[in-house]
Chain A
């Protein structure tokens, strides 16, 4: 019996892998990592969180950067620890910023390194730095924004429902799409203008590298087709005064893809509400309503066609059409998205017209 007990205790202590006691004061939290490639070497920058001793409230943290180079990413990580007095702790990693060079030529190495590393949890955001190095971004902390990675994370999170260029997907989802080839990936970008960090266009990849970028309006249509944005704003100019706009917000979108051998069809089934009526349209008039709906359906369909055409030109299947074809017909056709014709059908239901119906002049 004693032997049994001893064996159980031994097994518990040895085989569980939980023998990793570490005091929090011996850790330094790595909140952001920047990776660049320069002169045949990887340049890795850590943003580490420390107590902000300059602040009146000493409970605030501040980001302090450390940079090192290496032949490989792992080598650069090792070199950075030479200047760290504590063990780096990656479980609270918020954001990884990569340069355009990494995005174009070293994405395989990046995914390989992060997926193999057990210390890093794959739930951080991946962002591309535009016209600036990741190191420079991390060095742009200020008194009001002492932690850059926290700021970027907040930028991505807060813009996800208002600016569609923000793709706050976790690394693990991006890696899954990248490695499986189910969809081509998109990454948000960030640039610096007048000491301000700003979200840039949405970068679009083919299988391995960046092939283009989507502006806000294109990203908005993408979000509708992707069914992942419940709050998309679409505007059409007024008939008489084109400076003024009629604006709707799409609060629900259900997009269906019907895949056939020779063509595919995208059907947008949308519910929307009117949020701005500068055109003075009488919303009680059923004919006006139908007219507005037709206009918007046409506008959304046109924008969708433009987006698909653009994606065809750059050969980026970010909607995963090729994979949908494979799932349906069980035969691989990597040119299906690019080669086949497509149709777009939009069914719009404007069912929330707001409380203001009375207008001065019925212009439409």
Chain B
């Protein structure tokens, strides 16, 4: 048997084969198992007491060796080829950190990690009910990743739970490395420009979604859980809003909606007004625009597109580059784009202001997929404005609305709670009522 295993895993140098005695051999992967646990649970008990005392021991068949070896079990092989697996999982996960992609001033500071059991624990610490159901699934031909579907049993989410489980069963891919693989596979069917599944690393947000009757998908080795169905407004208003009082929170919500409009339309609006509808600009401001654009060789549309692309590059490089070099990028960006480009007469200062405001507004939305959708529409609006002015913006806006209203997430309208109007959800997310 040992020879057989050796033969199968001949190119796996982390495979350890230890002969404890003439009768017993243990086999395990050093890379995923804890040597302390092997000593404590397997080696010592075998030597001194001739037994194994690990917390999780199971007799297995020959064809299950691969599965248990890869899942951090030590396989104990006796002389008569009886097989036994003991869990000696190495602690490979990092400690619980604070959320990086969804930071907040108020509220809990813990975030999910790559360890699915730890993540489940973080959620279960918050939701203590027998109605919290967890369904395990293994997805991925090579990765065999553990995927857990969590929901609170309610009459209203019965159908969507079934739908999600069916959809997960239909996924047929070679590997699940991150929850985004599942997210993409599930969203392939929804032909939409907007994300319909929201990833979150905040256990409080996940728990809140569960309470609301939504479904959460946890994926092993991924610090992001998936929340579905997610509506348009969910990507704008995070749950952390609930930790502050209603009036300041509503003010912030209004600012966010303003940011949404600015990030989508502002560059297009600038292009439309200065190229088509100059009468809408006050005379003194128009003169300022003219003076600032004096000497810029490119048409304003080209100028806007160049600046938008440069800022996208800057943002991408800022995300990808190690943070230690971040300062260098900031200086480079600020100096080259902010000052030198203006002095060189390549772009006008007003264009830099326009694009900067647009980008500052876009930073309000932390979800990457949502930002990507907004980016596509920003360019569409710009194109509409470049060809048809304010009328073009109106046309693209109508297209935007049509696309938004025709998007469905698990058979529910994406524009809930506005259309169809759901009062409870509306006052929870879009405009909070004062607590009495």
Contacts and interface: CB of A to CB of B under 8 A. Distances in A.
B298 to A, nearest CB: 10
B287 A61 contact: yes
Nearest to B290: A24
Contacts, number: 67
Interface in A4-37: 12-13, 16, 18-25, 27, 29, 31
Contacts of B392: 18
B397 to A, nearest CB: 14
Contact of A51 (B275, B284, B287): B287
B294 A51 contact: yes
Contacts of B405: none
Nearest to B392: A18
Contact of A18 (B276, B286, B289, B299): B276
B289 A24 contact: yes
Given A25-B290, A91-B278, A92-B279, A61 B284 contact: yes
A254 interface: no
Given A16-B388, A23-B275, A29 B283 contact: yes
A52 to B, nearest CB: 9
Contact of B300 (A13, A19, A23): A23
Interface residues of B, number: 25
B275 to A, nearest CB: 5
Contacts of A150: 283
Contact of A13 (B276, B287, B290, B387): B387
Given A12-B395, A16-B388, A91-B278, A51 B291 contact: yes
A58 B291 contact: yes
Interface in B399-419: none
B82 interface: no
A24 B285 CA distance: 12
B279 A23 contact: no
Contacts of A25: 290, 293-294, 296
Given A25-B294, A121-B279, A59 B288 contact: yes
B389 interface: yes
B342 to A, nearest CB: 14
B371 to A, nearest CB: 29
Interface residues of A, number: 25
Interface string A169-185: 00000000000000000
A318 B386 CA distance: 48
A92 B283 CA distance: 6
A49 interface: yes
A24 B275 contact: yes
B350 to A, nearest CB: 10
A92 B275 contact: no
Contacts of A121: 279
Contacts of A13: 387-388
Contacts of B395: 12
B356 interface: no
A336 interface: no
Nearest to A22: B275
A89 to B, nearest CB: 6
Contacts of B275: 21-24
Contact of B283 (A19, A31, A58): A31
5 contacts: A12-B395, A18-B276, A27-B278, A59-B287, A92-B283
Interface of B: 274-276, 278-279, 283-284, 286-291, 293-294, 296, 299-300, 386-389, 391-392, 395
Interface of A: 12-13, 16, 18-25, 27, 29, 31, 49, 51, 58-59, 61, 89, 91-92, 94, 121, 150
Given A24-B275, A59-B288, 11 more contacts: A18-B388, A20-B276, A23-B300, A24-B293, A49-B283, A49-B287, A51-B290, A59-B291, A92-B286, A94-B283, A150-B283
